[in-house]
Structures are given as C-alpha cells and as structure tokens.
Amino acid sequence: MLPLHLCSALVWLGAIMLITKNYRIYEFMYLLGIGGALQALATPDLGIYGFPHFRFFQTFISHGLIITSSIYMTVIERFRPTWRSLLRVAVWMNVYVIIIYFINDAIGSNYLMVNGKPDTPSLLDLLPPWPIYILYMEAIGVITILILYLPFAVRDWRNPTHEKTIDS
C-alpha cells in the first residue's frame, strides 16, 4: 500500500503541518481531511480486520488524528480557511486525482477510487457507474468543503472586519 489515498497522505502532511505550522497544508487538512476522515470513521474499510487487530486501531487513530490536528490548528493556532482556500484546495485536489488516475492505470491499483468502484460494498454503490460517479464525488466534495467553511462564512458575514489576512 502506497500512501496515495487522500487520508494516508494527510496523515503524513498533518504531522508536517503540526511541526512547521504550514498554512497551505492546513487548508487541505481542514477542508479535505475532516470530511474524508469523518466518512472513513463512519464507514471504515477494515475488511476482515476487526477489534483488536492492529488495522482496527490504525484506522481509527490515524483518521481521528486528521480531525484533531485540523481542529487544533483552527482553535489553538487560530488558522482558518478563506474563500481562496476553497478554490486552491479544489484545483489541487483535481490535479492530484488526475495524477493518481494515471498511477493507478500504470500499476493496476485504484487509489482514490477514480479508476473504478471498489470490489467491496461502499457508499459509491449508491452512485451511477464509472466514470459518471466521479462527477458525483466532485459534487459531494464541493458540498463538504462548503459545509466545513460555513462557520467561517457566517462569522465573516456577521463581522466583515474579522477575516484574517493570512491568505494574502
């Protein structure tokens, strides 16, 4: 397993973010990491590995750390996403998906589930067949980051002078 699934990459990037206080990594951790990790915690792909197997603990601890490190940077370090963050994350995530598609094609894998639905049952089974479900995943991703940005949008709307200029 290469660390090419989004949450696998974010676990490593989260450690770097906490050490370096890197805002660009924070944008991805907050906007993509929280939504992805919540979904993974709600519907974990553990296969035959249940409690007390190492994979059980690895799944819940790593995904939990994605969420807690993002919240830590938001609450303690006072980082916050901006409208530019949403655009930057959307663009770079699509670039990443395209790169992963070609890697999957070359090595016969299915990281990010962009080359087909997984063999095991998943929420993707509720979506249309490949490649149309990728558009649905895009829409779900956009809705997710908008929901995660909503508290900041409401705060900015109530107090327009409050937005940080960390993004400039």
pLDDT the model gives residue 168: 44
pLDDT the model gives residue 164: 53
pLDDT the model gives residue 39: 84
Q: Which residues of the chain have pLDDT under 50?
A: 165, 168
- DSSP line for the chain: --TTSHHHHHHHHHHHHHHH--HHHHHHIIIIIHHHHHHHHHS---TT--TTSHHHHHHHHHHHHHHHHHHHHHHTS-----HHHHHHHHHHHHHHHHHHHHHHHHHT--GGG-SS--SS--GGGGSPSTTHHHHHHHHHHHHHHHHHHHHHHHHHHH-TT----TT-
Q: What is the pTM of this model?
A: 0.85
